[in-house]
Amino acid sequence: MSLPTYDQFIEPILRVLQQYPEGLRAAEVHDAAADYLQLTQEQRSELLSSGQAVYKNRCGWAHDRLKRAGLSFSPRRGLWQLTNEGAVYASKHSSVIAEAEIQRIASSNLDAPIASKFSKMVATDEIHANASPDDQLEQALQALRQATAGELLEMLLAVTPSRFEVIVLDVLHGLGYGISRQDLQRVGGSGDAGIDGVISLDKLGLEKVYVQAKRWQGTVGRPELQAFYGALAGQKAKRGVFITTSSFTAQALDFAKSVEGIVLIDGERLVNLMMDTEVGVTSRILRVPSLDSDYFE
């Protein structure tokens, strides 16, 4: 049996969220929607080439359409919740929602921008019907990157702090730091003095970069950066990278500019680097044909 299309997940998600006025974690919504649709284990095991479960991907797109319709939102990363309008809508449509209404939700709000941590990356991810095929392809790619970025942040917030530190070092190695992966060592733990990783830039380990990785939801302020700078001084280090899943306050950014050798990477930049280096992400190659007019001359 084939999996339901993404629009067929719209009503299940609406009904699930209706039961949880304070919101529900996206991962739990995925499973609850699958239960609502009575998906088999075989259907739940079907994967995209990226490794993501197909039903979870379609849940994500269905929730995207509910957000565009103003019926749901994400009060924080990884949490889905009905808006007041959504709660009223669900109560008003207490019986099975007509197919025409589902299609209206799925297709009539594509121009509606969604407030997001990634709004600076892509203003909207709608694909305009009157755009050229190349433009449509580019818009689709940006929409997929935006969706993947959100999923990556959810995963990063769910892993353990020690696993997050390893992921950060994998990203830095993917960017070309360290001659081999063994040149990037995790040292986090009790008594780490604010240092979670060390990168040896040369074979003898004479030149090093120190890393702090914080899996936070709140913003990182100036005191945290000052403590990191002090830890670098204690190691007589000249270079440090502070990486977080959240963002930095204006005071923290100003402090980093006032000293030498500190690079800041926030959650938005981190997930983009993960996609660029394919850490925790796989990419598929599309063969896009283009006419070679020189061949015919």
What is the chain's pLDDT, residue by residue, as a tens digit (297 residues)?
788 999 999 999 999 999 999 999 999 999 999 999 999 999 999 987 667 788 998 998 899 899 989 999 988 778 899 999 999 999 999 999 999 999 999 887 655 544 444 433 333 444 555 566 666 777 788 888 888 888 888 888 888 888 998 999 999 989 988 878 888 888 865 545 578 888 888 777 678 899 999 888 788 999 999 999 998 888 888 899 999 999 999 999 999 999 988 999 999 999 999 999 999 888 877 787 876 767 676
Q: Please state the pTM of the whole predicted model.
A: 0.60
- 3-state SS string for 26-75: HHHHHHHHHHHCCCCHHHHCCECCCCCEHHHHHHHHHHHHHHHCCCEECC
Backbone angles phi, psi at 257, to 5 degrees: -75, -25
Length in residues, the chain:
297
Indicate the residue type of 34: A
CA–CA separation, 237 vs 38, rounded Å?
57
Strand partners, 242: 212, 264
* pLDDT score for 274: 94
Torsion of CA 179, 167, 249, 80, to 10 degrees: 160
* pLDDT score for 121: 38
List Cα–Cα distances, 80 to 60, 192, 206, in angstroms: 10, 36, 48
* pLDDT score for 125: 41
Burial of 120: CB neighbours in 10 Å, binned 0-12, 13-18, 19+: exposed
Q: 80 and 13 in contact (C-beta within 8 Å)?
A: yes
Backbone angles phi, psi at 268, to 5 degrees: -60, -45
Going edge to edge, which strands form the sheet with 262-265? 184-186, 197-200, 208-214, 240-244, 262-265
* pLDDT score for 115: 44
CA–CA separation, 283 vs 267, rounded Å?
21
* pLDDT score for 89: 96
